[in-house]
Copies of this chain bind each other. A is one copy, B any other.
Amino acid sequence: MATMTAAQKRAEAKTQYNAFLAACPSQQLLARVSGKWVTLVLSALGSGPDCTGEPRPMRYSELARVLAGISPKMLSQTLKSLERDGLISRTAMPTVPVTVSYELTGLGLSLHQTVRQIKLWSEAHRDEVTENQARFDGAG
């Protein structure tokens, strides 16, 4: 049957577009950075525990303490994915008990700089956005 062309074409277009999206680097990066804890880990490692210092290595337990709300599962998962991308490096010292520290790589540091741009934009425009939202909600 050569019928149902409309739905068929739509489905085909969608498949192609999704393939295009999957190959799009920007989308990939956004997907990576969008994780709830990814930027927080980047910030912690890139600007110190209070987000105002210098990049420095931190231990697993230190990260867990700084990111107070995170569960061990999510911390491990986030760290592993960042390590996989080469954004952070993991170093295990053969002490007893074992000591593990994480540090931004050069690549991770450059991403941290980019993410900071987002932070700057949001801080610069947050009031404006909040105001717009209030007006929109008020206008109903």
Contact = CB atoms under 8 A, between A and B. Distances in A.
B122 A69 contact: no
A16 to B, nearest CB: 7
Contacts of A128: 86, 107
Interface string A58-87: 000000000111000000000000011110
Interface in A119-136: 119, 121-123, 125-126, 128-129, 131-133, 135-136
Interface string A20-36: 01000111111001100
Contact of A83 (B110, B126, B136): B136
A122 B128 CA distance: 28
Contact of A136 (B40, B84, B121, B126): B84
A25 B69 contact: no
Interface of A: 13-14, 16-18, 21, 25-30, 33-34, 39-40, 67-69, 83-86, 107, 110-111, 114, 117-119, 121-123, 125-126, 128-129, 131-133, 135-137
A30 B103 CA distance: 23
A86 B119 contact: no
A106 to B, nearest CB: 10
Given A39-B30, A86-B132, A128-B86, A14 B69 contact: yes
Contact of A118 (B29, B40, B129): B29
